[in-house]
Amino acid sequence: SQELEQSPQSLIVQEGKNLTINCTSSKTLYGLYWYKQKYGEGLIFLMMLQKGGEEKSHEKITAKLDEKKQQSSLHITASQPSHAGIYLCGAVGFGGNNRKLIWGLGTSLAVNP
Amino acid sequence: DAGITQSPRHKVTETGTPVTLRCHQTENHRYMYWYRQDPGHGLRLIHYSYGVKDTDKGEVSDGYSVSRSKTEDFLLTLESATSSQTSVYFCAIIIPPGGPLGNEQYFGPGTRLTVT
């Protein structure tokens, strides 16, 4: 089973709508990364969360880490077509090697104008 | 721009042929990674390197070998390509300090490999 589960797998929203993507871990999270991938391109780093309750924002994207729930959520306010792509969460590896990250399967987001 | 290039960007090859993909970085950072990305499987680590001639296996290393004879280059070789190795391959590096945990990764543009 996947150690990092992302939900939903895919999402289609109307431009201007808010949306939330979740990343849930099967184990304690020591660091959680969010990346965005445009179709056919490489991954772009968005932000990293380390401490429970931490919240960070980048333009209209906000991410939070809930340590107790072993979950991070990524919220986009007033979505735009430029937000379309695949959002991936990555976490510090659970095997003790913190130079390796494990990854969720990604959430595909489409924003209709 | 993390200064990472991958070559080739696209390749079509036949089953049974050897293939080498190259990841090049301009800043001599220590940690480099090779991933493959497939629908339904996400991003999976093939091999990584923590210095010249220092490499270790990831979760899907069978059928792949790597070499790092210079800090700036990390080569991924498919010894005898199979159709199951059709994928998009990404290289990543850690740029020090690598964020608060030292493991923030930056990715190259990817190589799309098709094995027929």
Q: What is the residue-averaged pLDDT of chain B? A: 93
- pLDDT (0 to 100) of residue A11: 96
> In this predicted model, which residue has the larger pLDDT, A45 or A53?
A45
With 90 as the cut, is the pLDDT of residue A58 above it?
Answer: no
State the pLDDT confidence band at A71, using cuts at 50, 70 and 90: very high
B53-82 mean pLDDT: 95
- pLDDT (0 to 100) of residue A27: 85
Q: How far is CA B49 from CA A58, A79, A92, B34, B94, in A?
A: 31, 38, 17, 9, 11
B31-48 mean pLDDT: 94
Cβ-Cβ contacts under 8 Å for B62 (sequence gap 6 or more): none
With 90 as the cut, is the pLDDT of residue B25 above it?
Answer: yes
The residues in B 8-27 lying below 8 A from A, measured between CB atoms, are none
What pLDDT digit, counting tens, does each position of B93-102 carry? 988 777 777 7
State the pLDDT confidence band at A96, using cuts at 50, 70 and 90: low
Strand partners, B56: B48
A94 touches chain B (CB under 8 A): no
A34 touches chain B (CB under 8 A): no
Which of B42, B58, B109 is nearest residue A42 as measured by Cβ atoms?
B109
What pLDDT digit, counting tens, does each position of B3-20 carry? 899 999 999 999 999 999
Least confident of A17-26, A48-57, A68-77, A101-110: A48-57
Q: Name which of A65, A35, A62 is nearest A50 in CA terms.
A: A65
Which of B41, B106, B109 is nearest residue A41 as measured by Cβ atoms?
B109
With 80 as the cut, is the pLDDT of residue B27 above it?
Answer: yes
Measured between CA atoms, the residue of chain B closest to residue A104 is B42
With 70 as the cut, is the pLDDT of residue B1 above it?
Answer: no
- pLDDT (0 to 100) of residue B18: 96
B94 touches chain A (CB under 8 A): yes
- pLDDT (0 to 100) of residue B95: 82
A68-89 mean pLDDT: 95
With 70 as the cut, is the pLDDT of residue A95 above it?
Answer: no
Chain B partners of A65 at a C-beta cutoff of 8 Å? none
| C-alpha torsion A90→A61→B98→A28, nearest 10 | -40
- Suggest the residue from A7, A99, A108 to mutate for an interface test with chain B (most B CBs closer than 10 A): A99
Chain B partners of A54 at a C-beta cutoff of 8 Å? none
Chain A partners of B104 at a C-beta cutoff of 8 Å? 33, 45, 48
Provide the shortest C-alpha distance from residue B25 to chain A (in Å): 15
